[in-house]
Structure 1
Amino acid sequence: MSTNYQNYIPVKAIPFVQFLIDEHSFELKIVNQRQTKHGDFRKLPNGRFQITVNNNLNKYQFLLTLVHEIAHHVTHQKFGRVQPHGKEWKTVFQHLMLPFLTPEIYPKEMLPYLANYLKKPKASTDSDTNLSLVLRNNEAENGKVFVFEIPFSSLFIYKNQVYKKGKLRRTRFECLQLQTNKTYLFNKNAEVILYNQTN
């Protein structure tokens, strides 16, 4: 079921990805967008392994997510049950990503951010705000904006709640949820909808 993935990744990455698919034998499913994750890896009841990746990712995000999930599979094969994003996974992920870190696959301006992220990869690329923004060409989804782009004290909607943007605290913005009067911290790259006061 790994046939149509070629349309989702940079052309020059296809031979490397095909090698990984052949080498590690898993089913790849491209699925509709999920709010909480870009991809996942699991063992199916029949004993086979499945990797899913969201279909709304651009080719650079898709490739990184796919290799992230293949790293879970390889880690599972080599080490059995270990921490999901522990040192074993980090080492495997770094190793698997190396062939992809070229300007033929990732644009030159993305490579320093990727290299920096891969020194200590985290569970989600979105937690590295600079990498997340550069992977998306600094463009939010249709009809949305990034929190860092909107003016101080502006109102915005996130997950059907209205917030007021506050000050930057180190790397995140303090935002007040109007309904509960509680303050929440938002990453710079959180995608939100500007609240139209005439609503």
Structure 2
Amino acid sequence: MQILYKHIPKKAVPLVEYLIIEHKINLKIVNQRHTKHGDFRTFPNGSTQITVNNNLNEHQFLLTLIHEVSHHVTHKKFGRVQPHGKEWKTVFQHLMLPFLQPEIYPQNVLPHLANYLKNPKASTDADVNLSLALRGGMAETGKSFIFELPKGSVFQFKSKLYKRGIKRRTRYECLNLANKRVYLFNQNVEVLLVE
């Protein structure tokens, strides 16, 4: 449990310890994965495992951990249901409620987090305002958010080059320069500006 102090806000540790013990959580902290922050798995022998990326800041880590614990609790309570369906949403909202306090989440994050929890999505990155607040409004060093780039900019994402196009409702059209196909990117995706 001591390792939790390195990954989540100190005031959240007793609540998280309780959840881990109460639900017999097998938690594994793993190296960064580019496609997800965490996951929940069940194995053929009936055991379960939650993994969370080690590169997340303490507020992202906590939210991701509770997201995954909610999958575990939903699985135990309801069996096989939609991964982010109404059962999971209800459990997630219930488990996150005790963490919605200024001793755990900063004042600039709390309103976005409360709004997100009204109807949580599969990924916190789907909520641009929450995602930016959790990151402190700053992209990783050396990178930029897509919304910060001028139209026509060339950027690198996962070793591929793209040209930023127009904004649709919430996403940007980006042309893959190799295959000439257009892809939609969330506005808060972090990319490396090339030109």
TM over 0.5: yes
Give the TM-score normalised by the residue count of structure 2.
0.95
Report the alpha carbon displacement of residue 5 of structure 1 after superposing the two structures with TM.
Answer: 2.0
Report the alpha carbon displacement of residue 92 of structure 1 after superposing the two structures with TM.
Answer: 0.2
Work out whether residues 152 and 165 of structure 1, in 8 Å CA contact, stay in contact via their aligned partners in 2.
yes
The alignment yields a C-alpha RMSD, in angstroms, of 1.3
Aligned-partner Cα distance in 2 for 1:179–1:7: 41
Report what 1:96 is aligned to.
Answer: 95
Work out whether residues 177 and 184 of structure 1, in 8 Å CA contact, stay in contact via their aligned partners in 2.
yes
Report the alpha carbon displacement of residue 140 of structure 1 after superposing the two structures with TM.
Answer: 1.4
SS of residue paired to 1:13: helix
Percent identity reads 66
Any unmatched runs of 5+ in structure 2?
Answer: none
Report the AA paired with residue 90 of structure 2: T
Aligned-partner Cα distance in 2 for 1:45–1:81: 14
Mapping 1:23-34, distance limit 5 Å: 23-34=22-33
Aligned-partner Cα distance in 2 for 1:53–1:72: 13
Report the alpha carbon displacement of residue 86 of structure 1 after superposing the two structures with TM.
Answer: 0.7
Report the AA paired with residue 177 of structure 2: L
Mapping 1:3-82, distance limit 5 Å: 3-82=2-81
Report the AA paired with residue 133 of structure 2: V
Give the TM-score normalised by the residue count of structure 1.
0.93
Aligned-partner Cα distance in 1 for 2:85–2:169: 26
* CA shift digits 1:57-97 (9 cap, x unpaired): 00000000000000001111111111111100000000000
Report the alpha carbon displacement of residue 45 of structure 1 after superposing the two structures with TM.
Answer: 4.5
SS of residue paired to 2:141: coil
Report what 1:184 is aligned to.
Answer: 183
Any unmatched runs of 5+ in structure 1?
Answer: none
Report what 1:148 is aligned to.
Answer: 147
> In terms of mean alpha carbon deviation, does 134-143 or 64-73 score higher?
134-143
- How many residues matched? 195
* CA shift digits 1:106-151 (9 cap, x unpaired): 0011011101111111111111111111111112122211111111
Question: Runs in 1 of length 4+ with deviation above 6 angstroms?
Answer: none
Report the AA paired with residue 94 of structure 1: Q
Work out whether residues 9 and 59 of structure 1, in 8 Å CA contact, stay in contact via their aligned partners in 2.
yes
* CA shift digits 1:29-61 (9 cap, x unpaired): 100011111111122454332111000000000
